[in-house]
Amino acid sequence: MIIVNDLRPGTTLEYENNIYSVIETQHNKTAMRQMIIKVKVRNLRSGSIVELSFTGGDKIEAAHIDKKEMQYLYDTGDALAFMDTSTYDQIEIQKSTLEWELNFLKPNDLVNITSFEGEILGLILPDKVTLQITETEPAIKGDTATSALKNATLETGLNIKVPMFIEQDEIVIVNTIDGKYAGRA
């Protein structure tokens, strides 16, 4: 059990048959009332973000999330296949639960699969990944005085904005949190 006063970003909890990860907390104490704690959380099953309110001192159940490093093997059509590199066990995760993550996955990439009591919740990508640009517009001469950006398509199909000096077939670093260009590899 966790006392809600001790909740911090990244803490996982089980509440009303859902599993949540804390994004941020806000404590509100007035003179004549008990402390109200508002917690912004992400539902780890659906991905939705909600706000929960608790009274100071309430206790809630901690959720112990297991993480296992696995290798992405291939796309089966409606799911993605992953393999545990130590036991060679394979699992499949439905594509519908990994829509954002698909923008950064290439075969043979290592990712952390998260699970709760045997139920697979999703995967954790590294903060930044390196991907190859498959298509980009040519730079326009004289358009480089400011930090001008142009469109580029990555090998995974993700469209991003890159600086004018980046050419086709270059490898770039992309931030997996917001999907933006982070530099050359």
Within 10 angstroms of residue 45's Cβ, the number of other Cβ atoms is: 15
Assigned CATH for 66-124:
2.40.50.140
pLDDT over 60 (residue 170): yes
Q: Tell me: domain 128-184, CATH 2.40.50.140, correct?
A: yes
Residues 54 and 73: beta-carbon distance below 8 Å: no
How confident is the model over 151-169, as pLDDT tens digits? 888 888 888 888 888 888 8
How confident is the model over 51-77, as pLDDT tens digits? 988 888 888 988 888 888 889 888 888
- Report CA-CA distances (Å) from 35 to 31, 39, 61, 62, 169: 9, 13, 20, 21, 56
Residue type, 50: V
pTM above 0.85, yes or no: no
DSSP 8-state symbol, 140:
P
Pick the CATH number of 2-62 from 3.30.360.10, 2.30.30.30, 3.40.50.360, 3.40.220.10: 2.30.30.30
Residue type, 73: L
Do the domains spanning 2-62 and 66-124 agree at the CATH topology level?
Answer: no
Query: Phi and psi at residue 184, in whole multiples of 5°?
Result: -85, 150
pLDDT over 80 (residue 46): no
| More confident of the two residues 109 and 32 | 109
The mean predicted confidence, pLDDT, of the chain is: 84
Q: Tokens 């930044």 map to which residue?
A: 128
Q: Tokens 């950006």 map to which residue?
A: 149
Residues 155 and 132: beta-carbon distance below 8 Å: yes
Domain boundaries, the chain: 2-62, 66-124, 128-184
pLDDT band, residue 127 (cuts 50/70/90): confident
